[in-house]
Amino acid sequence: MSAWILTIGVLSLVILFDLALAVARRNKETSMLEAGFWTVFYIAAAIIFGLLLPIWATKQGQQEFFAGWLTEYALSVDNIFVFIIILGHLHVRKEKQQLVLLLGIMLTILMRGALIPLGAALISRFSSVFFLFGAFLIYSAYALAKEKGDEDEWKEGRIVTQMKERGISTFTIALVALGMTNLVFSLDSIPAIFGLTKNAYIVTTANIFALMGLRQLYFLLEGLLKRLVYLSKGLSIILAFIGVKMILEALRGVGADEVFGFKVPEISLGFSLGTILTALIITTVASLTATRGVAGAE
């Protein structure tokens, strides 16, 4: 319990500091240098936390954290590209973007704070829920793989349209749009991390570290929107892999050690971490290589 209190207390202070910084600089644009510094800072903080984790947890907990954090961070990068499209579509001023982003990210943390205990309760009471989670992730992977990834793919919903018609401020509309988008993305990310670990502490910290610093990462990745063309494909592979892993675990959970004469394999955490890393590295390198000419032309 002391680890929980200390960790959540420190992370809350960091988030409050980030909020205060965003409010203080709400009328200023975020420079690439500033965005780069804080992005590296938050990534380094997550890595240091993971490396020190065995001191108060376990070696397995460390592997689970890194697998979960990498998966959630990769999904968050995909979220950011949608945020870029939404804020551009709504014509939110540059100097106002960082505050609406931070408030949207804090709203995401609250949403996931409610969804994580719900997911943990479902798993503890119904082990067969892994079949449902696994199938949902495989479907999500299929839908993600089919995405064309063009810049105009986001279409405002009825709520956003009605808010515009009533003259509600662009800032409020953007915040609501980001909130609704975050809720949809959370439905993918929460089952995904439960496919890697059932430890509520690891699930919570991996999610928070993946969300911290996204405001700065937004401004850093804004120019890469056209370059990471295969990101959705890499994420679809990761989600499909975790979905299959969950279904195999669910089969073993109900005592089905063999299916059609074949032994149900057990996928190790080390193999999972390696698969996630490999998918992200290949996706990034392939994307940057394929779009090298585009970047040069710009």
pLDDT in tens, 285-296: 998 888 876 544
Alpha helix stretches (DSSP H) within 212-267: 214-221, 231-253
Q: What is the distance, to the nearest Å, from the Cα of residue 112 to the centroid of all Cα atoms in its chain?
A: 11
Q: Give the pLDDT confidence score for residue 157 in this predicted structure.
A: 65
- How much is the mean pLDDT over the chain? 82
> Residue 6: pLDDT above 60?
yes
Q: pLDDT tens, 219-270?
A: 887 767 677 888 888 889 999 999 999 898 888 777 777 777 778 888 888 8
Domain that holds residue 53: 2-297
Going by C-alpha positions, the residue among 291, 170, 159, 271 that lies closest to residue 230 is 291
Question: What distance in Å separates the CA atoms of residue 35 and residue 38, rounded to the nearest whole number?
Answer: 5
Residue 246 CA: distances (Å) to CA of 68, 106, 112, 148, 192: 14, 29, 20, 27, 9
Rg (CA), the chain: 20
Mean pLDDT score, 9-28: 80
Beta bridge partners of 258: 263
Q: Give the pLDDT confidence score for residue 294 in this predicted structure.
A: 58
- The pTM assigned to this predicted structure is 0.79
Q: Give the pLDDT confidence score for residue 84 in this predicted structure.
A: 79
Give the count of domains, the chain. 1
Helix (H, G, I), strand (E, B) or coil at 258: strand
